[in-house]
Amino acid sequence: MRLLRASCIEEIPYAQTKVMGIIAVHGGLDTSREKQYLEILQEAALRGHELLSKNRIQALEAVLRVLEESSKFNCGYGSVLNFDGVVEMDAAIIDGVSSRFAAVAAIRDVQHPVSVARALMEKTSSVILAGEGAVKFARKQGFPTANCVSDEQREAWQKARKSLARGEKPAQNLYTGLAYYGDTVGCVIWDGAGLAAASSTGGCLLKTPGRIGDTPSLGGGIFASKTSAVVCTGIGEAFRETLTAKYVDEKIAGGSEPQQAIKSALRRLHEQKKAEGGILAVDARGRVGSAFNAGQFPVVVVVDGKLLDNYQPGNLRQELSVH
Ligand code: ASP
C-alpha cells in the first residue's frame, strides 16, 4: 500500500502541487478508528480511485458500495434498526458540475441505497423517492431484495429496547432528545475537473419509523457545487434546520479554506442547536478539510491513488462539548 505523509494534519493544501484526484471518505461520527475500520475505509477509497479517471460518480458509488457491504458501518448491511426493528435507509449523491442531485429516503431491503440514488439521478428527472416508492423504483431497476439486518445490529436493537423497557434512559442529545445516535458514511471527490459527494446511512438507532435524517437533505447534510463538495454526519435534524452543508460551501466560496469553513460550521451548529457533528469537505483547489466535536471521526484521504498516512480531522470536542 502506498502512503503519503500528511504534511499538515488537519488541512491538506494541494493547490500548489499537480494533483490529479482526491478521494476523502469518512466512516461516521463516533465510529471506531480501530485498524479494522480504517482498513475498510482505505479499501473503499482506493476502490474509488481505480474508477476516478473514468467517471467521478461511478467512483463515488464504488466507495460507498464497499461500506454498504460491511457490517461495521451504519449503512447498507450494517444499518441500525428503527424503533420497530426494521432497517430504513437514506442515501444521496450529487454532482457539483451538473448540480444533479438524487436521493432515496426510508428505503428498505436493498443492499446498495447509493446505487439506487445514482440510478434515480441518471435515469429520471426525479430528485427524491421515499419509502415504498423508492423500493418499487429499485426493483424496476433490477436491484434485488436484500437482507440489511446484521446480527450485530439486531443485538444492539434488542439491548436498546430492553433497556428502554426497564425504564433506563440513555444519555439524550440536548437538541433532539434522541437517545441513540447513528453514524452516516460519506465521500467527497475532486477529480481535477469537478467535485461530487455521496452519503449513505441507516439513520439513528430506534428512530421513529418513517423518520428521514439529513443525508438526503440537499444543503443540510450534503452539498456539492463548482466550489466544494461537503458531507456531514451527526444529528440529522440539526443539520437540516441549519443548512450546514450549504453554509460550508458558501464560506469556501467567500474565501475560507475548507478547514476554517468546517470549524465555523461546527461552531454555528453548536451555538444554534447544541448538536454534535462531523464534516468532511474538499474544494475546487483540491484542499481537504474535516473536523468534529464528538468522540471519534475516522477519515481516510487518498491523493492520486496514495493514502495519506495517519490523517487526523480537527477535534473540537473540548471547545464545543454538548454534555
Ligand atoms: N445524520 C444521520 C441521521 O440523522 C445520522 C448520523 O450521521 O449520525 O440520520
pLDDT digits (tens, 9 = 90+) for 300-312: 999 999 999 989 9
CA end-to-end span of the chain? 40
- For residue 273, count other CB atoms closer than 10 A to its CB: 22
Between CA 26 and CA 40 the distance in angstroms is: 11
| In-domain check, residue 57 | yes
pLDDT of residue 22: 97
How far away, in angstroms, is 152 Cα from ligand 1 center?
A: 19
| In-domain check, residue 45 | yes
Model pTM? 0.93
For residue 166, is pLDDT > 90? no
| In-domain check, residue 321 | no
How far away, in angstroms, is 4 Cα from ligand 1 center?
A: 31
pLDDT of residue 45: 97
CB 195 within 8 A of CB 229: yes
| In-domain check, residue 320 | no
Tell me which of 316 and 31 has the higher pLDDT.
316
**Catalytic hit among 17, 31, 145, 184:** 184
Between CA 245 and CA 234 the distance in angstroms is: 12
pLDDT of residue 181: 67
Q: Is the CB of 182 under 6 A from ligand 1?
A: yes
Please confirm, yes or no, whether 184 is among the known catalytic residues: yes
Grid cell 500528511 in the structure block, residue: 6
* Amino acid identity for residue 274 in this structure: K
Q: Is the CB of 204 under 6 A from ligand 1?
A: yes
Between CA 274 and CA 128 the distance in angstroms is: 29
Between CA 79 and CA 88 the distance in angstroms is: 8
CB 45 within 8 A of CB 63: yes
- For residue 56, count other CB atoms closer than 10 A to its CB: 27
How far away, in angstroms, is 205 Cα from ligand 1 center?
A: 10
Q: Is the CB of 29 under 6 A from ligand 1?
A: yes
Between CA 203 and CA 215 the distance in angstroms is: 8
Q: Is the CB of 286 under 6 A from ligand 1?
A: no
Q: Which of 14-18, 113-117, 256-260, 303-307 has the lowest mean pLDDT?
A: 14-18
For residue 11, is pLDDT > 60? no
Tell me which of 11 and 66 has the higher pLDDT.
66
pLDDT of residue 10: 56
Query: Strands 100-107, 185-190: parallel, antiparallel or unpaired by DSSP?
Result: unpaired
Pocket test of ligand 1: the residue of 80, 83, 215 to mutate, having most ligand atoms within 8 Å of its CB, is 215
* Vertex 203 angle, CA 198 and 170, to 5°: 145
- What backbone torsions phi and psi does residue 258 show, to the nearest 5 degrees? -50, -40
| In-domain check, residue 58 | yes
How far away, in angstroms, is 168 Cα from ligand 1 center?
A: 23
CB 48 within 8 A of CB 187: yes
How far away, in angstroms, is 58 Cα from ligand 1 center?
A: 24
Average predicted confidence (pLDDT) for the chain: 91
C-alpha distances (whole Å) from 173 to each of 4, 29, 147 are 38, 14, 30
Q: Is the CB of 183 under 6 A from ligand 1?
A: yes
**Looking at ligand 1, which atom is closest to the CA of residue 213?**
9
CATH of the domain at 29: 3.60.20.30
Sign of CA dihedral 31, 170, 210, 216: negative
Q: Is the CB of 233 under 6 A from ligand 1?
A: yes
pLDDT of residue 15: 45
Q: Read off the pLDDT of each residue in 144-160 and give the average, rounded to a whole number.
A: 93
Sign of CA dihedral 243, 228, 203, 315: negative
For residue 6, is pLDDT > 60? no
Nearest-CA residue for ligand 1 atom 9 is: 203
* Amino acid identity for residue 162 in this structure: K
Domain enclosing residue 45, as ranges: 3-315
Nearest-CA residue for ligand 1 atom 1 is: 236
How far away, in angstroms, is 214 Cα from ligand 1 center?
A: 7
Q: Is the CB of 293 under 6 A from ligand 1?
A: no
For residue 12, is pLDDT > 70? no
| In-domain check, residue 322 | no
Shortest CA distance to 192 belongs to which of 17, 20, 14, 13? 20
**Sheet strands side by side (includes 228-234):** 222-224, 228-234, 277-283, 288-292, 314-315
| In-domain check, residue 245 | yes
C-alpha cell at 89: 435507509
Tell me how many domains the chain contains.
1
| In-domain check, residue 295 | yes
